[in-house]
Amino acid sequence: MKFIWLDCDPGHDDATELLLSIHIPGLALLGVSTVHGNTSADDTMKNAARCLHAFGAPDTVKVYPGATQPLLRSARYDPEIHGESGLGGVEGLPSADIDEVRARMPSEAATVRALEGMAAAVRDTWKNGAGSKVTLVSSGPMTNIALFSSVFPELIGAIEEIVFMGGGVGIGNRSAAAEFNILCDRKLFG
């Protein structure tokens, strides 16, 4: 079994990632953290919860809101590609206001943020999974991953690998030299 944690900014591409992570045999989705990127952090959180419910994720898989902007610059969104909500043009997803979708998001009274959710999942999997490590999968700006590694350095040994979507060959998708996820928080990469 491969234990994974998704850190994403659900637009169309990340909706597909959520669907696959739920249904590929041999993967155990521990949780989902969201980040600014394709749209606002609030919309990415709602989009992730809507997708998890629509795609039949176990009720134990929750969404944890993360960074609302990059570490050293203003937030940058991509409405030309993903629409204002991040899932522009997608029909048939449940509303973020129904009880089953809201149950996947933290209540305002008991908000567990991305870093704490990620740390708890990594710690619990390491302890209760007989030393099983977690793969962090990042398909949005890597702000949450950078913060996690800074705030919880003692858990780095419990991470099997970090897989991220960023980069390009020859030309970037948002500038002559940059892919969108890297461009959003480029200071993380030197």
Strand, helix or coil for residue 40: coil
Query: What whole-number distance in Å separates Cα of residue 141 and Cα of residue 145?
Result: 9
* 13-29 pLDDT tens trace: 899 999 999 999 999 99
Both tokens assigned to 118: 């990620």
pTM of the entire predicted model: 0.89
- Tally Cβ neighbours within 10 Å of residue 1: 9
Place of tokens 């959180």: 45
Report the amino acid identity of residue 180: F
pLDDT of residue 83: 65
Query: What whole-number distance in Å separates Cα of residue 37 and Cα of residue 53?
Result: 22
Examine the pLDDT at 54 and tell me if it is beyond 90.
yes
Judge contact between 105 and 46, C-beta under 8 A.
Answer: yes
Phi, psi of 118 (to 5 degrees): -65, -45
**DSSP 8-state secondary structure symbol assigned to residue 92:** S
* 76-110 pLDDT tens trace: 777 676 666 778 778 889 999 999 999 998 876 55
Q: In the CATH scheme, what architecture does the domain 2-189 have? A: Alpha-Beta Complex (3.90)
Place of tokens 């007989």: 130
Q: Mean pLDDT across the chain, nearest whole number?
A: 87
99 by Cβ neighbours in 10 Å (0-12 / 13-18 / 19+) ranks as exposed
